[in-house]
Every structure is written in C-alpha cells, then in structure tokens.
Amino acid sequence: MGLNCGIVGLPNVGKSTIFSALTSAPAEAANYPFCTIDPNVGIVNVPDERMDKIVELVPTLKIIPAVVEFVDIAGLVKGASKGEGLGNKFLANIREVGMIVHVVRCFENEDIVHVNNKIDPAGDIETINIELAFADLATVENRIVKNDKTARSVDKDIRKKALLLVPLLEKLKVNLEEGIAVRSMGLTDDELILISDLHLITVKKQIYVCNVDENGLVEEPEYVRSVKAIAEEEGTQAVVLCGSLEADIASLDDKEEREVFLEEAGLKESGLSKLIRTAYAELGLRTFFTVGEKENRAWTFHEGSKAPQTAGVIHTDFEKGFIKAEVYHCEDLFQEKSEQKIKAAGKLRIEGKEYVVQDGDVMHFKFNV
Ligand SMILES: Nc1nc2c(ncn2[C@@H]2O[C@H](COP(=O)(O)OP(=O)(O)O)[C@@H](O)[C@H]2O)c(=O)[nH]1
Ligand SMILES: [Mg+2]
C-alpha cells in the first residue's frame, strides 16, 4: 500500500526543517506495523476534527488517529540520476514512496545559500523534474536493452509480451528525453500495468510545497504564484507554509500555546496540518472510524474500497469471514448525538459485501472466524 510520501527538492530549500517539524510529535509506531523504521522516515498523525467531535459524543479510553508516512529524501542534486551526490541512495528511497512532496524555496535569505544563487521556483522545479525524468529514462533505456533480448525468446508468450512493450518503451523514452513526466503522458490503465514493474518515479503523483518566510504567509509572493500556476497546469496541489515558523510551532508542547501562536501569525490552521491532509487525500487515502468505550480509532482505506476490504484493514480475518457491516456516517452522529438515537432515527444501515465505504463512515463489522 502506498501510504507514504517522499519529500524531495533542491538542497537548502527547507526539506529537513519541514520533516523534523512534521515528526516532532511522532505517532505511536506500535499501532502501525506496516510502517518502516528508519531515521529518515516519520509516521505522522493525520489531523481530523471529526475525531475530536466523535470523542465528545462517544467517550473512550484511547484515541488512535490515522497516520501517513513521510520520508526525508536526501541527495537530489543536478546529476543525481547519474549517481552524483547521494544519487543511488536517493533513487532507491524515492522508488519506494507512494507520492512525491516537492518542496520549493520561496523565501529569501542571503545567509542561506541557494544552490544556483538565485531564488527561482519555476527554474528549481524544472531542475528537479528533469532530474527525475532522467532517472526514469535510465531505467527505461536499460529495460529496452533487456526487452530486445526477451523479444527473441523461444517461448511464445514471453515473446508476445515483450513485443507489446516495444512501442510503449519507445514512447516513454522519447517523452522522458524531453523531461516529460510519465504521469503526464496520458497512458492508459493497461499501459500503466504493463510498465508497473519498472517502478518509475515520475509516474507517481506529485504535490508542491511553497516554503515561504513569515511575510509570505500574509501576502502571497510572486514566487508562490509561479508555483501555483505550475501546479494548476499539472492538475495538482500547491501547499504554502513557512518551514521555520512550523518548526517553532511544533516545538511547543502545549496545544493551547500552539493555537495562540497560530492566531498571532494570522493562521487558522498550521501549514503542516494542511500539508498532511493534502498528502493523505492525494494519495487516495480515506478514513473510516470504529468507536467504543475502549477505543475510538481512525482507519485508513483506499478510495473506492468495498466493505470486506476495509474490514481487512483491521484484521485479515475480518475480510475472510466478512458477513455484513453496520454503518452510519459521522455526520449522523453529530446530528443525533448518540448511537441509540441514530438507531431510533433509522439511520443505522446494514451493508453487505458490495458496499463502497465512504470517507467518514463509522463501521461495526460482523464476521465469522
Ligand atoms: N528564513 C527561512 N529559513 C528557512 C526556512 N525553512 C528552512 N530554512 C533554513 O534553511 C536552511 C536549510 O534548511 P534545511 O531544512 O536543512 O534544507 P534541506 O537541505 O532542504 O533539507 C536551514 O538553515 C533552515 O533553518 C524558512 O521557511 N524560512
Ligand atoms: Mg536536508
């Protein structure tokens, strides 16, 4: 499951600052056996106001939020695709993530060197995107050589599959040479399946983070506008935040202190919280809840999943032995104030194997073991 995002960007754009702020209050790793344990990996709680409201109505001993993983990917410089800098480690790390969070420097500060000596978000984005495309180009070129051999195989099926790949690999090569990301090539689902074992980088979704200084939060700088324009053209999101301010906020232990700080900075929500929510949604992740005296918990599922699959998120036995689910939406709870009243109002539904679970559903699963 692609539950994680890799933070990439040129050196000195604020990646590590953002990563440390994100992970300053680490989630309880024991609850998330699927997560990687690595210093560059942080498990981050997904802020969700709905859980706060649920807890008011269904008091519980333990609250477990949904999480998403962030990976601080070091070493992306010009030439990384050819092994410059930490090139190879970088490539290995980035292949494993579900999505790319591309940090762009939109703040000025003479003391912090910019690798190209100039604040130029559009130029920086191009540098990184071309580097990523070239990394994929190298992968594709290797595969073309191998595939040419496979296409001469004596096994008819193997030969057939290899021949199918020939025009597709050529199309990838031609476009990647122009620096075009695979995600922008308009490939069909079948084509995407054919190339899935290449683990290409630029096929992954990418969102942008504009790292501004504090003034940039109040008045949108031209730098940000240029990133937003690129994001819009690519059909993706650009989140604006100030890395150093986020680091300051994250260093406060007390929730109320953090809220006062935000208010003083003129913000409704911290930039990190916006980033986490955007990343989670763009990864195609959605949340359902289980509630009870012992534990209120937010669970993550992939958009479009049916009831048995989402039951499987809790335990594989729940999926295998799935019978039915009792479901209501958290909005029903906010309206009716208790599960009894939801039942009395006829809003508790019984759903079967074909039910497509909705974001914000509260589920009770019935199953056989
Ligand atoms: N003024 C300002 N400096 C920042 C901001 N974010 C990061 N920095 C500084 O920029 C430098 C490089 O940051 P770092 O997070 O290590 O960048 P990385 O190389 O992308 O990981 C550090 O000195 C940070 O303190 C920001 O939002 N505003
Ligand atoms: Mg760093």
Q: What percent of the chain is predicted at pLDDT more than 70?
A: 93
Give, for 7, the enclosing helix (H) or strand (E). Answer: strand 4-8
Closest among 356, 300, 314, 239 to 3, alpha carbons compared:
300
pLDDT for the residue numbered 1? 40
102 CB within 6 A, ligand 1: no
Ligand with minimal distance to 211 CA: 1
Q: How many angstroms does the Cα of residue 1 sit away from the middle of ligand 2?
A: 26
Q: Which atom of ligand 1 is nearest to the CA of 19?
A: 15
| Residue 10, CB-side half-sphere exposure with 13 Å CA sphere | 27
Nearest residue (CA) to ligand 1, atom 27: 243
Query: Which string of DSSP letters, residue by residue, matches 179-238?
Result: T--GGGS---HHHHHHTGGG--STTSEEEEEEE--HHHHHS--HHHHHHHHHHHHHT--E
* Single-letter amino acid code for the residue at 355: Y
Report the residue among 7, 10, 12, 72 best suited for mutation to probe ligand 1: largest number of ligand atoms under 8 A from its CB. Answer: 12
What is d(CA 215, CA 81) in angstroms, rounded to the nearest whole number? 35
As assigned by CATH, the class of the 4-119+204-282 domain is: alpha beta
What is d(CA 28, CA 185) in angstroms, rounded to the nearest whole number? 40
77-86, 114-123, 275-284, range with greatest mean pLDDT: 275-284
Q: What is the pTM of this model?
A: 0.90
Q: Which atom of ligand 1 is nearest to the CA of 246?
A: 27
40 CB within 6 A, ligand 1: no
Q: How many angstroms does the Cα of residue 193 sit away from the middle of ligand 2?
A: 34
Contact 306, 357 (CB under 8 A): yes
Residue 184 has pLDDT above 50, yes or no: yes
11 CB within 6 A, ligand 1: yes
271 CB within 6 A, ligand 1: no
Tokens describing residue 58: 């269904």
Q: Region 263-269: what's the mean pLDDT?
A: 86
Q: Region 278-289: what's the mean pLDDT?
A: 96
Residue 18 has pLDDT above 70, yes or no: yes
Q: How many angstroms does the Cα of residue 11 sit away from the middle of ligand 2?
A: 7
Q: How many angstroms does the Cα of residue 101 sit away from the middle of ligand 2?
A: 14
Q: How many angstroms does the Cα of residue 66 sit away from the middle of ligand 2?
A: 26
Q: Region 19-46: what's the mean pLDDT?
A: 75
In 3-state terms, what secondary structure has residue 150?
A: helix
pLDDT for the residue numbered 228? 98
Q: Which atom of ligand 1 is nearest to the CA of 10?
A: 20
Q: Which CATH superfamily is domain 304-367 in?
A: Beta-grasp domain (3.10.20.30)
pLDDT for the residue numbered 361? 98
Contact 307, 352 (CB under 8 A): yes
Residue 82 has pLDDT above 80, yes or no: no
Q: How many angstroms does the Cα of residue 29 sit away from the middle of ligand 1?
A: 27
What is d(CA 369, CA 343) in angstroms, rounded to the nearest whole number? 27
12 CB within 6 A, ligand 1: yes
Residues 6+ apart with CB under 8 A from 148: none
What is d(CA 101, CA 104) in angstroms, rounded to the nearest whole number? 10
Residues 6+ apart with CB under 8 A from 306: 353, 354, 355, 356, 357
pLDDT for the residue numbered 226? 97
- What average pLDDT does the chain have? 91
Nearest residue (CA) to ligand 1, atom 23: 112
- Determine whether domain 129-198 maps to CATH 1.10.150.300: yes
Give the other-Cβ count within 10 Å of 97's Cβ: 23
pLDDT for the residue numbered 31? 64
Characterise 2 by phi-psi region: left (phi > 0), alpha (psi -120 to 50), beta (else).
Answer: beta
16 CB within 6 A, ligand 1: yes
In 3-state terms, what secondary structure has residue 272?
A: helix
Give the other-Cβ count within 10 Å of 167's Cβ: 10
Strand order in the sheet with 238-241: 41-45, 67-72, 4-8, 99-105, 205-211, 238-241
Q: Region 155-183: what's the mean pLDDT?
A: 95
H helix intervals, the chain: 15-22, 49-57, 87-95, 121-150, 156-177, 189-194, 214-218, 222-234, 243-250, 255-264, 271-282, 307-314, 316-320, 330-336, 339-344
150 CB within 6 A, ligand 1: no
**Cα 226 from chain centre:** 23
Residue 27 has pLDDT above 80, yes or no: no
pLDDT for the residue numbered 49? 94
Report the residue among 111, 112, 210, 267 best suited for mutation to probe ligand 1: largest number of ligand atoms under 8 A from its CB. Answer: 112
**Cα 287 from chain centre:** 14
pLDDT for the residue numbered 170? 97
pLDDT digits (tens, 9 = 90+) for 234-256: 999 999 999 999 999 999 888 88
- Sketch the domain layout of the chain as residue ranges: 4-119+204-282, 129-198, 304-367
Report the residue among 17, 20, 101, 107 best suited for mutation to probe ligand 1: largest number of ligand atoms under 8 A from its CB. Answer: 17
118-127, 147-156, 169-178, range with greatest mean pLDDT: 169-178
